[in-house]
Amino acid sequence: MAYEDNRNWREYNEKLVRRGWFYLSTDFVNNWDEELLKMNKNKNGRPYRYPETFIQFCGLAYAFLHLPYRQLEGFIQALSGFVPGLLAADYSTLWQRITNLELNIPIPDNDLVVAVDSTGMKVTNRGDWMRESHGVERRGWIKVHIAVDVETRKPVTFEITDETVTDHEMVKPLLEDVKLEDSLMDGAYDKEGVFDFMKEKGVDMPGIKIRKNAIVKAGSSRAEPVLEFMKYGYHSWKIVHGYGRRWAAESVFSAIKRIFGETVRATSKEGMIREVRRMFTFYTIILSV
């Protein structure tokens, strides 16, 4: 089935305006003291001075405005002059709290049609992890593997690896906890193990593009999907599966790189993973505005 864009454009335009407001929303100030009381209840050691929602706001500014932490400190100081009750934090506190932000995407409970894909994120400073991994110098990018709900166009799950990890290896980690109606993947995922896993998930005929000159192995979980692909041919097969909806994953990658850039500034492995996680989680939050 061909993709049809049936968006309500007036509603969509209003949503984009609200997102612009969201970037500088300081509503968290209204609950500053109350949130700190909850965070510091039964806490050992030095109490928190800044609520988690404030740190999330700073983390979004760091990612969206591409500000180094010292400039971020100055930005918050300037903003505090216009927002009563907003306390500025120093750059070391911002770095520590932002890098340790725990942000998660809730997985929907309903059966989903997901598009699975991967993309590369450039690394501005390759750091020790990129130099030392496997004893060779890496090319300076990491991979983000993602599953996107084709109806809402929101990320469902994502995983981050270096560029040596193949796409099909990440299907199980991505989709293990996701309820599936169907999945849409390109030829890089045309592997026996992927079809075995999809069958375990209750999807016997997934929308995985079959490679040219595919050989049918009788009795395998891949056999029927290959025969289906051969029977219909690519153009009819993609209509049957609505394969054009796979663009939803590519659109998420495009939007995130457009909003937050396509480079990762952290230098450690854990720092890179956390930075990319923040990008994708913030994007999901922005979509809900």
pLDDT attached to residue 138: 54
pTM: 0.84
Q: How far apart are the first and last CA of the chain?
A: 29
Question: Which residues, in sequence order, are bridge partners of residue 170?
Answer: none
pLDDT for the residue 4: 61
DSSP letters for 248-284: HHHHHHHHHHHHH-SEE---SHHHHHHHHHHHHHHHH
pLDDT, one tens digit for every residue, the chain (289 residues): 555 667 778 887 887 788 788 888 999 999 999 999 999 999 999 999 999 999 999 999 999 999 999 999 999 999 999 999 999 999 999 999 999 998 888 899 999 999 999 999 888 655 554 555 555 555 567 899 999 999 999 999 999 998 889 999 999 999 999 999 999 999 999 999 999 999 999 999 999 999 988 888 888 999 999 999 999 999 999 999 999 999 999 999 999 999 999 888 888 888 888 999 999 999 998 888 7
Calpha distance 130→137 (Å, rounded): 6
pLDDT at residue number 19:
76
DSSP conformation class of 65 = H
> Of 154, 128, 157, which Cα lies nearest the Cα of 144?
157
Tokens of 234: 């690519």
